[in-house]
Structure 1
Amino acid sequence: MTAVQIHGLGNQALLDQYLAAGFAGRVGWGERAALLVIDMAGAWTRPEEMIGSDLGAVLGNIRRLLDVVRQRDDVPVVFTTMAYDASYSDLPVVTRLKTPHSERMIRGSERVRLVPELERRPHEALIEKPRASAFFNTNLLGILIAQGIDTVVVTGCSTSGCIRSTCESALDYGFRAIVPAEAVGDRSASAHEAGLFDINARYADVLPIEEVIAHLRR
């Protein structure tokens, strides 16, 4: 197969090639799951914001998952946001250059606060992450290990960025990652679809939300 042919593969042809090459296996569910809600705060969920978009449908599906897991006492919920000091003392220059919007993500501002519809409970952890992955330079790994978690259900935004990066880290640390397709979103439809494709092929199992809900209810 020539390079031109490889670069011209559609998703189904690429998936077929991945399967033949040993990609896109299934990680499945482990013994105990946690629900991760990534960056559902003002900066991402308000369309008028620099990096915002309409994530109303995603938010509604995350609330469905929250309703299910909050009826149990063995599925912890962890929320994340991104926030920095107003002095930028914890915001490296390279990060500011590559993602200038980060200069607006000031700790305590509306941009970094979770949307109220999530109705975060006092016992549900809230992590400020400095980079895309919820695992990088945070205490998420310790939280999960302490509670015997082996599976993370990853929801929120953005599919092509923080969701993908968190799923990659989950795999690197030996966690099974499940992504309910309707509970993650992106400001770009094409980036969302490409992100889901790559996540499903490389890092996690992307499943319909109804299948995830059914499993969590069991």
Structure 2
Amino acid sequence: MHQETASAAGRLAVVEARPGPVEVDLAAAAVVVVDMQNDFAAKGGGNDLAGIDISVLRAAIAPTARVLAAARRAGVPVVYLRHEYLPDLSDMGPLGSKNQLIHTAAGVGRRVPAPDGSVGRILVRGTWNTEIVPELAPEPGDTVLSKTRFSGFHATGLDAALRRLGVRDLLVTGCTTSVCLESTVRDAMFRDYRPLVLADCTGEIQGEEHHESTLVLVERLFGWVARSADLLRALGG
């Protein structure tokens, strides 16, 4: 199989994937990083404070960092999503809506001490809690978008940003596999994007079975699934 190097925009990188090899057009691709923020994946964040084991999310950081480095070398844009709410929580949804109920139960808006010495608030915009984990920090030229629902396409500028960049192929990473990542992938497919989920660049705190179930659904119905090493090989290292 002929694999193009990452240096020339417009060439195809053929990635070994499930259910079969997929051609990624490097001139029409973007990496999407879903919600890899402190509240979900950092010590001292909301999940960690709630006693949730975040090790599966922490394990996704290193392979994701390698993907981001390779993508930037290839000139592939990187788009970050952050799940976060206004300080008054007015964008969490009407009283009694499912989004409002589950996020209220999860302590969204609660003041907590942040590891950087500031006063944090769980999933509130402008706090340490919703910053991207430092290992994956955005770089100049990257796109960072806020979202208030599980899908990155709901009431956000994601679709417009991707279309402005001329993107068709999405290299999807982030958390959690069966909730925000899956919701975003489904909506991407409905809009005729081609999502490729990198299985080791995501994780599911609700259990491995939910992680695996989403990967099966993606490869059967919504896109393709590969390992980060498969992508890196296709990008020439």
Tell me if TM exceeds 0.5: yes
Q: Please state which structure has a larger fraction of its residues in helix.
A: 1
Q: Structure 1 counterpart of 2:224, which letter?
A: D
1:85 and 2:86 matched: yes
The counterpart of 2:70, out of the listed 65, 68, 73, is 68
Task: Indicate the SS of the match to 2:200.
Answer: helix
User: In 1, distance between residues paired with 2:20 and 2:211?
Assistant: 20
CA contact (8 A) 2:34 2:80 kept: yes
Distance change in 2, residues 1:173/1:129 (3 Å):
same
1:213 alignment counterpart? 232
1:28 and 2:32 matched: no
1:141 and 2:159 matched: yes
Q: Please state which structure has a larger fraction of its residues in strand.
A: 2
The alpha carbon displacement at 1:134 in A equals 1.0
Distance change in 2, residues 1:65/1:25 (3 Å):
closer
User: In 2, distance between residues paired with 1:183 and 1:25?
Assistant: 18
TM-score (normalizing by structure 2): 0.76
CA contact (8 A) 1:61 1:182 kept: yes
The alpha carbon displacement at 1:214 in A equals 2.0
User: In 1, distance between residues paired with 2:23 and 2:172?
Assistant: 13
CA contact (8 A) 1:27 1:204 kept: no
Q: Per-residue CA shift, 1:21-77, capped at 9, x if unaligned? A: xxx96693343210001101111103523366122220001001011011122x100
2:210 alignment counterpart? 191
Q: Per-residue CA shift, 1:132-173, capped at 9, x if unaligned? A: 111111111111111111100100100010111111011000
CA contact (8 A) 2:177 2:202 kept: yes
Give the number of aligned pairs. 194
Distance change in 2, residues 1:26/1:168 (3 Å):
farther
1:107 and 2:125 matched: yes
1:96 and 2:92 matched: no
Q: Structure 2 counterpart of 1:200, which letter?
A: E
* CA RMSD of superposed structures (Å): 2.0
Task: Indicate the SS of the match to 2:73.
Answer: coil
TM-score (normalizing by structure 1): 0.82
The alpha carbon displacement at 1:115 in A equals 0.7
